[in-house]
Chain A
């Protein structure tokens, strides 16, 4: 009833292919953006903004980048944290060394730098596939972090080997409070997400999917594999790079290269799979699950069992339950959390009448 498509006719290709073909989706989107941009900054505590929402948005953006490569273009890659590191350190050095560079331009350029590195490490994908490619891309992960760690220039020769991200200054205003940082992150993430949705639905996305489903067939049909694959690597690394810059500037502030270790790459991979491969929404849901579930379990256990049970046992139990939840979710819905949402929408279409 509430979610009805009947009566909405598309009279032109343009309207049929638009980003949100359904009226309900358009209204829902506007409400969501209003909540995200107005209600949340006004109502949330600093804890929610700076410990939950900011990292969630940033990691969702990176997961989106990973999803473009893995879900849309079908190139399994494990180097996302390496590209994040590239973006973060590029942004630091740009602001440090280029006088008066605007923050947004610096973030954009760091994304581009990450994209260039992504193209370089994407070259093997022209010959290697599947799991082999995934392990091969670990080379980028280890090499980038090693190089950043090893050469002092990237860190402006800090004796502790870390960078301290500069203040975010835009239009003469310093974005320092959690709410302000949240808005910066949210704006960038929102724009890039719409862009991704747009790419995914257009010819770029179709080319990616063709390559994913059968690259030989795609080539026969006249798609350039070289171009399509490398484009996917570039765009994916761009998203990771921007995410990395935000991770350093809006979240951690003081960063050492090993903060972008392989564990982070794995976590981003988990986000994509548990959220739903090849879906935009899945990147957000997956990031939420992997990032926030351990936190909620930790809060829950300490609230329920608190001082009564040994804390080491609690921590181990949290791990077990987290793992079990992953397995349960996959058994219930192997296609990820985004699929659950899709099924719910289909139910809504009929609700409250069963037939």
Chain B
């Protein structure tokens, strides 16, 4: 028995090690998915969206004839396994991975130190290190779909708009209810600054993970009677529990604004009717945009779809995955153009140049069929955070309704200076010399 198992395992390993026959016109991607475990709902939707878009591009003839290939590796959202996946996916035959996206802060931190050496782009889609927005200190890390400081700014601006202007925010009380980890506290520096500038009171309340029990936090909130609650949770268990517990203490859901990582259908549905009215900020909007409809027709029509549950095509996580893959492909196109490699595979540094050249104008988004789904943005060598814009949505009990257009955070200069300060501190601690960027960009 054991012998047979051992033999099977070795067979598998040797099979995995035999490189697939390679052609020059293939571009290889590594996909560190998390399909089981507590974040499986997020992982299946997001990576499903990415894979579907890659399949879609292939079915449409590839990128200037270059076929996309990919390998998948299961991380279970675990830092150690993410490292293993990263190393395993890094090289395939004589091809090397050019971009990596862990869809989560723990995994991103576990590999962030390796990526500069390996010259692989870390594409953080709205998560991870905020100060990576400074491309001079973080040449290989991007947060093109926004970061937490911008996000909290947009939320505060949204509250101000509901209250009738920033001056009306004076004297208001806002509770930041967050998971008790670094991720939960990440928006606090920016929030505290805004609290000082706008004159509202900020109360910080922490939830110990996994957060399936939030009675004491919500009783505190009930006691404080805040005007707004910004909720910063992780995992649909914690997110839906916050809604049901809010209902139990009678706090109005129309006064709660959820973080992107709690702002998906999977976070609202388990709470049932109680979720109605909850606000959510989004960097990829759900819905049947022309591209999504086309994916359904082309990819699922051909029976090549990746989603087990087809109903989830067009939901928040799925569209976010498609959004991430769009950036990969557009960056690949740019890289081919910049380095004169049309129809050829590109290397990590070339891909990085392509990523920095991303210019997702409204016209471009329209051409891709995702106008409204993603925010328009433009990156550069120094500026690695693209769309600081976010869009607010409200859950109507069945699906999300858009309640705002793409909004910029107020006082962008302040956020930018905080980012540069934090990045400079990091550079100093780690003896990094920031690279110089051409001033024009």
Q: Which B residues, 127 to 172, have Cβ-Cβ distances below 8 Å to chain A?
A: 129-131
Q: Please tell me which stretch of B77-85, B214-222, B325-333 contacts chain A, meaning at least 4 of its Cβ atoms lie within 8 angstroms of it.
A: B77-85
B74 proximity list for chain A (CB < 8 A): 298, 311, 314-315, 318
Q: Are B186 and A159 in contact (CB under 8 A)?
A: yes
Q: Are B109 and A146 in contact (CB under 8 A)?
A: no
Residue of B nearest to A258 (CB): B181
B84 proximity list for chain A (CB < 8 A): 51-52, 55, 295
Query: How many residues of chain A get a CB closer than 8 Å to chain B's CBs?
Result: 53
Closest CB in chain B relative to A259 CB, distance in Å: 5
> Which among B5, B11, B71, B74 has the highest number of chain A CB atoms within 10 Å?
B74
* Other-chain residue from B81, B106, B180, B426 in contact with A256 (beta carbon distance below 8 A): B106
Q: Is A31 an interface residue (CB 8 A)?
A: no
Q: Please tell me which stretch of B110-118, B276-284, B288-296 contacts chain A, meaning at least 4 of its Cβ atoms lie within 8 angstroms of it.
A: B110-118
Q: Are B131 and A160 in contact (CB under 8 A)?
A: yes
* Other-chain residue from B5, B78, B129 in contact with A160 (beta carbon distance below 8 A): B129
Q: Are B16 and A159 in contact (CB under 8 A)?
A: no
Q: Which A residues, 116 to 170, have Cβ-Cβ distances below 8 Å to chain B?
A: 146, 149-150, 156, 158-162, 164-166
Q: Is B362 an interface residue (CB 8 A)?
A: no
Q: Measured between alpha carbons, how far is A277 from B186 in the docked complex, in Å?
A: 42
Q: Is B44 an interface residue (CB 8 A)?
A: yes
Q: Which B residues, 168 to 209, have Cβ-Cβ distances below 8 Å to chain A?
A: 180-183, 185-186, 189, 208-209
Q: Are A252 and B83 in contact (CB under 8 A)?
A: yes
Q: Are B88 and A51 in contact (CB under 8 A)?
A: yes
A300 proximity list for chain B (CB < 8 A): 8-9, 11-13, 15-16
Q: Which A residues, 50 to 75, have Cβ-Cβ distances below 8 Å to chain B?
A: 50-52, 55
B-side interface mostly: helix
Q: Measured between alpha carbons, how far is A264 from B20 in the docked complex, in Å?
A: 35
Q: Which A residues, 307 to 347, have Cβ-Cβ distances below 8 Å to chain B?
A: 310-316, 318-319, 325, 328, 332
* Other-chain residue from A51, A96, A303 in contact with B16 (beta carbon distance below 8 A): A303
Q: Mark A289-302, 1 if CB is under 8 A from B, else 0.
A: 00100111011111
Q: Is A219 an interface residue (CB 8 A)?
A: no
Q: Measured between alpha carbons, how far is A46 from B9 in the docked complex, in Å?
A: 21
Q: Is A16 an interface residue (CB 8 A)?
A: no
A319 proximity list for chain B (CB < 8 A): 36
A146 proximity list for chain B (CB < 8 A): 180, 208
A255 proximity list for chain B (CB < 8 A): 109
Q: Measured between alpha carbons, how far is A149 from B5 in the docked complex, in Å?
A: 42
Q: Are B88 and A160 in contact (CB under 8 A)?
A: no
Q: Are B33 and A311 in contact (CB under 8 A)?
A: yes
Q: Is A304 an interface residue (CB 8 A)?
A: yes
B86 proximity list for chain A (CB < 8 A): 51
A52 proximity list for chain B (CB < 8 A): 84
Q: Measured between alpha carbons, how far is A251 from B82 in the docked complex, in Å?
A: 12
Q: Are A311 and B106 in contact (CB under 8 A)?
A: no
Q: Is B3 an interface residue (CB 8 A)?
A: no
Q: Are B189 and A159 in contact (CB under 8 A)?
A: yes
B426 proximity list for chain A (CB < 8 A): 158, 164
A258 proximity list for chain B (CB < 8 A): 106, 181-182, 209
Closest CB in chain B relative to A31 CB, distance in Å: 22
Q: Is B213 an interface residue (CB 8 A)?
A: no
Q: Is B379 an interface residue (CB 8 A)?
A: no
Q: Is B417 an interface residue (CB 8 A)?
A: no
Q: Is A25 an interface residue (CB 8 A)?
A: no
* Other-chain residue from A47, A318, A325 in contact with B5 (beta carbon distance below 8 A): A325
Q: Are B35 and A159 in contact (CB under 8 A)?
A: no
Q: Is A193 an interface residue (CB 8 A)?
A: no
Q: Measured between alpha carbons, how far is A46 from B83 in the docked complex, in Å?
A: 12
Residue of B nearest to A328 (CB): B1
Q: Mark A220-233, 1 if CB is under 8 A from B, else 0.
A: 00000000000000
Q: Measured between alpha carbons, how far is A96 from B425 in the docked complex, in Å?
A: 14
Closest CB in chain A relative to B300 CB, distance in Å: 14
Q: Are B35 and A303 in contact (CB under 8 A)?
A: no
Q: A51-B84, A252-B110, A300-B16 are in contact. Are A315 and B36 (CB under 8 A)?
A: yes
Q: Measured between alpha carbons, how far is A295 from B13 in the docked complex, in Å?
A: 10
Q: Are B186 and A253 in contact (CB under 8 A)?
A: no
Q: Are B185 and A296 in contact (CB under 8 A)?
A: no
Q: Is B430 an interface residue (CB 8 A)?
A: yes
Q: Which B residues, 30 to 57, have Cβ-Cβ distances below 8 Å to chain A?
A: 33, 35-36, 40, 44
Q: Is B429 an interface residue (CB 8 A)?
A: yes
Q: A259-B79, A300-B8 are in contact. Are A159 and B181 (CB under 8 A)?
A: no
Q: What are the 8 A-B residue pairs with the smallest beta carbon separation, nearest first?
A: A161-B182, A300-B12, A51-B87, A253-B113, A303-B16, A303-B15, A315-B35, A51-B84
Sample (28) of A-B pairs whose CB atoms are under 8 Å apart: A50-B114, A51-B87, A51-B88, A146-B180, A149-B180, A149-B182, A158-B426, A159-B131, A160-B105, A160-B130, A160-B131, A161-B183, A162-B182, A164-B429, A251-B83, A252-B79, A252-B110, A256-B109, A291-B80, A296-B9, A296-B12, A299-B16, A300-B12, A311-B35, A311-B306, A312-B44, A313-B308, A328-B1
Known pairs A296-B12, A304-B15; list 20 more (Cβ under 8 Å). A50-B114, A55-B84, A146-B180, A160-B131, A160-B186, A161-B183, A162-B109, A164-B429, A165-B113, A252-B79, A252-B80, A254-B109, A254-B112, A256-B181, A264-B80, A299-B13, A301-B12, A302-B73, A313-B308, A328-B1
- Residues of B with Cβ closer than 8 Å to A? 1-2, 5, 8-9, 11-13, 15-16, 33, 35-36, 40, 44, 71-74, 76, 78-81, 83-84, 86-88, 90-91, 105-106, 109-110, 112-114, 129-131, 180-183, 185-186, 189, 208-209, 306, 308, 422, 426, 429-430
